[in-house]
Structure 1
């Protein structure tokens, strides 16, 4: 039986996620079609421009995490680039924003439509939408995602069998295709993929619905401003506050110790 707590949240609390879940196969098909049919230059552009980069979250070994998306802080990727005037020196001869819009429209029309409809009906509650792929052997070190204004949903798209899990406090949680896992990422956590296959989910960040909208918008604006100054290519997703602190390791270790105490 699935149990929920203060950091592992019941997706049924957030009915605005339903439309994305109902269309998970179409969204997965767009992702696989893109990977199979995009040119090498298109693939490179998407990962260079449409994917958040981080300088703080570390992995064990050489296996990587790959991400790219269509929505950041409630704006389509091309409008986000324009609004924040992000420059990409390697593409200085191209209109980066126009290229991002063209690729988003060509390869991800269904995902774009569902996200737009959901936000239209729910006061722009969804803030970030991007594909996240764990390469085989990935092991991410303990960290937090300092986002007190929002929760993170993962919609399983490609989840092979085996040990692919999120370790958070004393729980080990597993992704499932066609289902959402919703977490409060302010708790220390460390995911891994101990299989020989890639795992891909749709990451959906959304405002916490139990907080006043004015409050969460203010937090988002302040965090994004700080993160873009530190690293404009983070797209406002990652920042220096994501590093695990000493107290995070204590919290994480204490949770496991309490479980051992109960078992004994």
Structure 2
């Protein structure tokens, strides 16, 4: 039996995740079809506009993490762009929004239907939905994604065999295709991919159902406002508070990452 705790949470208790899990192969097929058939222009637009960017989360070496999604803070991406009037060097907000909608409808109709179904029946519980790919050799430094009202679910879509895992606190946890790994990302964590293949999951952020909705919505609004002021291309997912504290590195036996950090700055 798998054991769970305050940061590694049993996905079975979140029945609304079943709609995603039941459709995991369809969702994976939409992702692989997009990666195979999208034009260079569509790919560039996707990673430039639909991918949440972080200024604080660092990776070791040259290995990359790439992400793009269709739902942010409970809004489909085209609406999120309009609400926040995000300015881009190559597009105005209206143009970016129209292109984002066209791309979502062309490549991800089934994923959108799942999101709409869950959020209709569960009062907009789902906040962010995006694909996250760890490329070979990726090693992300210890960090947090601070929101005490949110859990993050990872639905395994393409998971190679080997050492691709999430270190969180003193545990090392693994993704599995077709299954959810649910974590409280307020705890320090650092994932890696030491295989020779990409690992892709569907990231599903959702409110903790036991929290008062008015309270969590207010917290999210204030947090997203600050994050968008700091970095509008974060899409409200990442912020300055993502940095782990020095005592976290020591507490979780990762003090060597601090030395690596200092060496970079020297």
TM-score interval (norm. to shorter): over 0.9
CA distance in 2, matches of 1:196, 1:74: 34
SS in 2 for 1:191: strand
Shift of 1:210: 1.7
Query: In the comparison of the two structures, how many residue pairs are matched?
Result: 254
Q: Deviations over 1:176-196 (max 9, x none)?
A: 000000000011110000000
CA distance in 2, matches of 1:35, 1:122: 31
CA distance in 2, matches of 1:92, 1:84: 12
Alignment partner, residue 38 of structure 2:
38
Mean Cα displacement is larger for which, 244-253 or 111-120?
A: 244-253
Alignment partner, residue 262 of structure 1:
none
Alignment partner, residue 236 of structure 1:
236
The answer to whether 1:90 aligns with 2:95 is: no
Tell me, which stretches of 5 or more residues in structure 1 are unaligned? Answer: 255-264
Superposition CA RMSD, Å = 1.2
Shift of 1:92: 4.2
Alignment partner, residue 253 of structure 1:
253
Alignment partner, residue 226 of structure 1:
226
Alignment partner, residue 139 of structure 1:
139
Provide the TM-score with structure 2 as the length reference: 0.93
Alignment partner, residue 27 of structure 1:
27
Alignment partner, residue 184 of structure 2:
184
Alignment partner, residue 153 of structure 1:
153
* Conservation of the 8 A alpha-carbon contact between 2:188 and 2:248: yes
Shift of 1:155: 0.1
Report 1:72-221 matches (<5 A).
72-92=72-92, 95-221=95-221
* Conservation of the 8 A alpha-carbon contact between 2:67 and 2:133: yes
CA distance in 2, matches of 1:213, 1:247: 32
Tell me, which stretches of 5 or more residues in structure 2 are unaligned? Answer: 255-266
* Conservation of the 8 A alpha-carbon contact between 2:139 and 2:191: yes
CA distance in 1, matches of 2:207, 2:14: 10
CA distance in 2, matches of 1:136, 1:237: 23
